[in-house]
Amino acid sequence: MLITFDDGYLDNYRVAFPILRGQGVQGVFFLVTAMVGSCAVPWWDHIAFVMKTARRRRFALHYPADLAVDLAENGLTESLRSVLNLYAASGNADPARFLRELEGAAEGDPVPTTLRRFLAWDEAREMIAGGMAIGSHTHSHAILSQLAPEQQRDELQRSRAQLRERLGGAIDALAYPIGGKTSFSEQTQELAKEAGYRAAFSFYGGTNLPGMTRPYDIKRVGVGGQSWTRFRVQAAVCRRTGKYWP
């Protein structure tokens, strides 16, 4: 079993790292190089904050497709998922436009930008010294399938080069931003291989069976929304049967 963390949030260093080190367990942390040590507000947090503070409980979005949002009827969790899915849709060629439209339609609060959200380079080096592993989550967390091949190549190469320069050693693992089936393509996998990665991780569920695992589409299972007891049973069943229990 491999424990992985995406994005490189500060709590990865402050909370997860001490626990893993204390248990003698290695975690793999995939960092977004443009966000390391920063107060940046990534698009998924931006969307979540606007939705949570929305003054309008019913509103509509029209880019890149029409979406009626009804917080009063559907609740925050379902409504947020639908807005995030719309943002990640292949037709969203102008993310800034999407966020402007959401802010205007929902009438949410401005997003705070003064708190450091992501772990710093020196903290990443301390984590490596403490037995953890670091990988790439691209340079800016752009959804790769929405980019032209040269832009994808730049995201992959720049991130790997900066991680190697700042942290030393081989950086040969990648986690695709979002990780869904439509967030990367066969071409993305080829570009990842060309950029020097030996493995790349998706995030849409499934199992990695011996002799059937694709090195540039290694499947992962999320642990959110379930109890620790259920996760332990799930992991045990998967280990014994080779089948994913959702």
The percentage of residues in the chain with a pLDDT greater than 70, rounded to a whole number, is 97
Give the Cα separation of 3 and 221 in Å (integer). 10
- Domain hosting 64: range is 43-106
Whole-prediction pTM = 0.88
Domain identity same for 202 and 129: yes
Domain count for the chain: 2
- Other Cβ atoms within 10 Å of 74 Cβ, number: 15
Q: Are residues 183 and 230 in the same domain?
A: yes
Residues 166 and 229 in one domain: yes
Instruction: Give me 190's structure tokens.
Output: 């080829």
Angle, vertex CA 148, rays to CA 142 and CA 152, nearest 5: 50
For 86-129, the pLDDT digits (tens) are 998 878 889 999 999 999 999 999 898 889 999 999 999 999 99
Q: What is the pLDDT of residues 9-20, one digit of tens each?
A: 999 999 999 999
What pLDDT is attached to residue 169? 87
- Rounded-to-integer distance, Cα 37 and Cα 117, Å: 7
102: CB partners within 8 A, 6+ apart:
47, 50, 61, 83, 108
Task: Please check whether residues 159 and 58 belong to one and the same domain.
Answer: no
pLDDT, tens digit, 9 for 90 and up, residues 126-155: 999 999 999 999 999 999 999 999 999 999
Would 53 be classed as within a structural domain? yes
Residue 105 and residue 102: Cα distance in Å, rounded? Answer: 5
Give me the amino acid identity at 20: L
What are the structure tokens assigned to 77, written together? 């969790």
The conformation of residue 222, written as its DSSP 8-state character, comes to -
Choose among 142, 124, 140, 117: nearest CA to 40.
117
